[in-house]
Chain A
Amino acid sequence: MGTNLWSILPELVLAGTLVLVLAADLLLRGRPDRPGALTLMATLGLLGAGISLATLPGTGAFFDGLVVGDPLGRFFRGLFLVAGAMGIWFGLLSEEVPRTRFGEFVVLILAATMGTCLLVQSRNLLMIAVSLELISLPSYALAGFRRGDRLSSEAALKYVLYGAASTGLMLYGMSLLYGLAGTLDLPSLAPALGRELASGAPPVRLGLAMGGLFTLAGLAYKVSAVPFHAWAPDVYQGAPTPVTAFLSVGPKAAGVAAMIRFLSEGFGSSATGQPFFPWPVVIGLIAMATMTVGNLAALAQDNVKRLLAWSSIAHAGYLLVGVSVGTPEAIRAVALYAPVYLLMNLGAFLAVLAVRHRTGAETMAAYRGLGTRSPWIAVSLTVFLFSLTGLPPLAGFIGKFYLFAAALEVGRPFFLVLALVGVLNSVISLYYYARLVRAMFLDRGAGLPSVAAPRPVAWLLLVLAVPTLVLGLFWSPLAALASWAAGLS
């Protein structure tokens, strides 16, 4: 049992931090420096979780196979800790999070981070369901964090209804799987399902398809994959910007990682033989649809936050390309893309946050002439946007390169088409990213106020932009980590 607890030490640290923050929130009531202190505490807690993550002993199954300690999980957990920290810092920098309720905010982020950490190492349907809920419940609350704000409330309502519905479906799907295989354990799911399939009765197949895909729906909604994406633009637009930034990174990556685990362990992957049902193709179709719908819808947006929301949907599609291909190289590509995506997407939202901070607006018009009004924000946002497009020498290109290379390496026509759709989508995406760039640099923002970025925002932008640049030229350390995560090294 000791080993078992050690294996989730980071989560335990998070839980402890959460409690301490809650207590401190009460103790420091009324103090003007409360948000800063809480942030510091949370940061230290996340740091501690990170340190404990780095020092974790060995790998293997823990808690009777409920959770698994493996490089993939550790890699992503580290990533989620960063995402959580960023979410909290963003909150500190944003006026959208009321100061009086800052403790609440931190606690919710920490809880959701804990959920993402647990989800990525779950190896059991029950554990997946519970972790997913642990992500979802704080997320709902976060989306509706600004109580008086109608948009925020609306976003929360949409999110919660959508989330509840998909959770319900997922639970039903899981029950079917359980009924077919008699187990909730992912590793034993595959052989059991194989045996059932061998019996050849049509209801088995239908049940398998329904079970698998309903379960997938629960995850796909977290990833905001088409056709379970509809909530995302509204929620991303309505939620406070720090929340949006966090939601678009942490839970999304967690969903992708869980999907990898669920599909390849539960249904067999092409690496280990024929999958039980053609999930690579299904996921591939979902990926294509997600990329295309996300990018196309982003074309017409005037609200930058909403534009980025659609763009993050599209990026979920890119990540799903890796899931669909499913080879270790593809998983490495996902593992590489996820942190890169975290950097550039968080960076972009931070810039949005900063602009909103000064102008109170999120529309394209607020960005006109930003290149002269606030060169720092504009230049770094441009870096993030072009990185999101996938232009070298920025990190986004490396991520896409790995993804498409993994797809082409397999050499199957379907993946070739997938890659083709992917690259064409990056062309489409250029159009709307460049619209924003155009507004910032090419249009004249006569009469608009200048927005100097607050110093912390500027530094944080730098912290995000520099790696975005450097990783585009010198990415071997990250690639090595990703290879390790994917079991390739």
Chain B
Amino acid sequence: MDLTTNSLLLTWTVFTPAIGLAAILLLLALRPLARWPQVFLDQAARGIGVVTTVVATALGIALWAGFDGSTAALQFIHRTVWMRSWNIEYFVAVDGLSLSMVVLTVVVFLAGAVASLPWWGALDDHHPHFSKRHVPGYWVLFLLLETGVLGTFAAQDFFLFYVFWEVMLLPMYFLIGIWGAPPRRDPDGRVRGGPYAAIKFFLYTLAGSVLMLLAMIAIYYASGPGTLADGTATQHTFNLPLLARQAREGTFLRAAPILGLDFARVVFVGLFIGFAIKVPMFPFHTWLPDAHVDAPTPISVILAGILLKTGVYGLFRFNLQLFPGALDWASYAVGVLGVVNIVYGAFVCMAQKDLKKLIAYSSVSHMGFCLLGLAAGTPQAVNGAIFQMVGHGIVSPMLFLVAGVIYDRAHTRQIEAFGGLAHRMPEYAAVTGLAFMASLGLPGLAGFVGEVLVFLGSFAATDPLFRVLVSIGALSVIITAAYYLWTMQRMFLGPFNEAWAHLMDMNWRERITLYPLAVVTVVLGVWPVPVFRMLEGTVGTLIGGLGH
């Protein structure tokens, strides 16, 4: 395991958004001196934001181009000692799993950045469109979020990972809270809206991550000192490849029990809850609908496209890689929870009246596949789960953008309020249809590949329980089709509701965000091989420790 070669490309990718952020802050700091008008600042912030995102995307693609997927070895390594006494390093590198997520991140953020640009000329003074409020602040947080997410995926040091993980939280809190929906009182008397959703998101995630913090410290102290099989002496460490090696050599199996319980299992559960909240897994999923519904469109896009993946990524990176034995032990529970997510989420979708809420719950359903794949642990299932992350990472942004299109125009998302929209907005109807079809797992589109592989792989798992689980989970294909088509029918088909005669079809900003995603959806659906090539070496190593 060569961990010494240094490459700065990944570091540049991760911190490019931070540079943009610094540039915007500099502008803000210089403002009193230069007396720039607000409009100039706004436009400059937007420009810097988009350019930075584009550069980050280019760098991400460059990483992909230079990546060798056939090996499990880490690539684009950059290491520097950060805190010597704790063996904490700044250590970033990618393997197939990380890289797939990094590439997805830059792409989705690019879509989010474009979707953050204003289009609407008319200003509503009472509650202006989110893209026109506190613009520099928005972009500062947006870029901070991107750095946080990229760092999370790139970090190969647990401590560094944790820091990036938490760095994701703050900007998200403000982005939902400030630029999201204003507070409102629901019919049932509860106060909802951006601030509520933001704090809910924040609390849930923090509750998970503090458990992760404890688990991290416990792993640190269990990780040494000792010697590895090849004679290398080890110290306490946060270094993930080293931890993974120790895991393979059974260090954590021998660690002292915690409260009389097996070390690996306790730590596994701690980590699992931490990540599962982010996935989000039933019953910790209820922050998701609120956050999605009340976040501004681009933030929903990022939330669904990327942030949920950090949870699954953590499950793979930590729970699977460090505690395969405990995962074997917990596979029933994880599998059952995954199927609950799938089926329960699908059913709840069907009862939704709010388009965005429906899409949010569909995310709950679709992320269940990742859990099921993780639990099954066969190559097909794990590849499928990771592909599902990618596929959902492309499709769900489309869905949220689609929801944003109609909300920007009609200021409502109540499905029943529409009808026959295909008459007025045929292009929009077509794109929506494509997104729905991709999400319901139509073969040939990106959503299908992950689902079918997870199902196929889980079905082929040794344990008969998984066959039962798949049989139940596969019911979701029916439910999913039903709710999407029903939604399609209620919104777009049937007699045209003349109340919406003023609506315009899609504009160019929306096309620029939606069509590339649509193309990717189709391409990945028929030609998913690039993703699998990326994962070729990684997955084998990841699941190597499982007991089958």
Q: Which residues of A contact B (CB under 8 A)?
A: 371-372, 386, 389, 391-393, 397, 401, 404-405, 408-409, 411, 413, 416, 419-420, 423-424, 426-427, 430-431, 434-435, 437-438, 441-443, 475-476, 479, 483
> 0/1 per residue, B152-187, Cβ < 8 Å to A?
000000000011001101100110011000000000
**Contact, CB under 8 Å: B221 / A409:** yes
Q: Is B214 an interface residue (CB 8 A)?
A: yes
The residue on A at minimum CB distance from B207 is A427
Shortest CB distance A374–B (Å): 14
**Contact, CB under 8 Å: B203 / A427:** yes
Query: Which A residues touch B174, using CB under 8 A?
Result: 441-442
Given contacts A426-B210, A476-B85, contact A416 B258 (CB under 8 A): yes
Given contacts A443-B195, A479-B83, contact A411 B211 (CB under 8 A): no
Partner of A397, one of B166, B203, B256, B260: B166
**Contact, CB under 8 Å: A392 / B195:** no
**Contact, CB under 8 Å: B256 / A411:** yes
18 contacts between A and B (CB under 8 A): A391-B170, A392-B166, A404-B214, A404-B217, A408-B217, A408-B218, A409-B221, A423-B211, A423-B213, A427-B203, A430-B203, A434-B202, A438-B195, A441-B178, A442-B174, A442-B194, A443-B195, A479-B85
Given contacts A393-B163, A413-B259, A476-B84, contact A442 B177 (CB under 8 A): yes
Beta-carbon contacts under 8 Å, B186-207 to A:
194-195, 198-199, 202-203, 206-207
9 A-B pairs besides A391-B206, A435-B199, A475-B83 with CB distance below 8 A are: A391-B170, A392-B162, A404-B217, A405-B220, A409-B217, A411-B256, A431-B199, A434-B173, A479-B85
Query: Which B residues touch A386, using CB under 8 A?
Result: 170
Count how many chain B residues have C-beta atoms less than 8 Å from C-beta atoms of the other chain: 34
The residue on B at minimum CB distance from A402 is B86
Query: Which B residues touch A420, using CB under 8 A?
Result: 214
Partner of B259, one of A372, A408, A416, A430: A416
Q: Which has the most chain A C-beta neighbours within 10 Å: B167, B195, B258?
A: B195
**Contact, CB under 8 Å: A424 / B210:** yes
Given contacts A392-B166, A405-B220, A411-B221, contact A442 B195 (CB under 8 A): yes
Shortest CB distance A85–B (Å): 28
Given contacts A408-B214, A434-B173, A442-B194, contact A392 B258 (CB under 8 A): no
Q: Which has the most chain B C-beta neighbours within 10 Å: A401, A427, A431?
A: A427
Query: Which A residues touch B134, using CB under 8 A?
Result: 372
Partner of A404, one of B199, B213, B258: B213
Partner of B210, one of A371, A372, A427: A427
Give Cα A292–Cα B410 distance, bound, in whole angstroms.
Answer: 47
Give Cα A284–Cα B203 distance, bound, in whole angstroms.
Answer: 26
Give Cα A427–Cα B162 distance, bound, in whole angstroms.
Answer: 16
Query: Which A residues touch B206, using CB under 8 A?
Result: 389, 391, 426-427, 430
**Contact, CB under 8 Å: A423 / B195:** no
**Contact, CB under 8 Å: B83 / A423:** no
**Contact, CB under 8 Å: B163 / A438:** no
Give Cα A442–Cα B211 distance, bound, in whole angstroms.
Answer: 28
Query: Which A residues touch B260, using CB under 8 A?
Result: 413
Shortest CB distance A275–B (Å): 22
Query: Which B residues touch A427, using CB under 8 A?
Result: 203, 206-207, 210
**Contact, CB under 8 Å: A430 / B202:** yes
Give Cα A408–Cα B270 distance, bound, in whole angstroms.
Answer: 14
Shortest CB distance B253–A (Å): 17
Give Cα A478–Cα B166 distance, bound, in whole angstroms.
Answer: 22
Given contacts A409-B221, A438-B199, contact A401 B214 (CB under 8 A): no
**Contact, CB under 8 Å: B198 / A442:** yes
> 0/1 per residue, B205-238, Cβ < 8 Å to A?
0110011011001101100000000000000000
Given contacts A392-B162, A431-B203, contact A405 B217 (CB under 8 A): yes
Beta-carbon contacts under 8 Å, B262-284 to A:
none
Shortest CB distance A201–B (Å): 36
Query: Which A residues touch B162, using CB under 8 A?
Result: 392
Give Cα A372–Cα B133 distance, bound, in whole angstroms.
Answer: 11
Partner of B213, one of A372, A401, A476: A401
Query: Which B residues touch A424, using CB under 8 A?
Result: 207, 210
Shortest CB distance A453–B (Å): 14
Query: Which A residues touch B85, using CB under 8 A?
Result: 476, 479, 483
Give Cα A391–Cα B162 distance, bound, in whole angstroms.
Answer: 10
Give Cα A401–Cα B169 distance, bound, in whole angstroms.
Answer: 18
Give Cα A392–Cα B162 distance, bound, in whole angstroms.
Answer: 8
Shortest CB distance B256–A (Å): 6
Give Cα A401–Cα B167 distance, bound, in whole angstroms.
Answer: 16
Query: Which A residues touch B258, using CB under 8 A?
Result: 413, 416
Give Cα A129–Cα B434 distance, bound, in whole angstroms.
Answer: 78
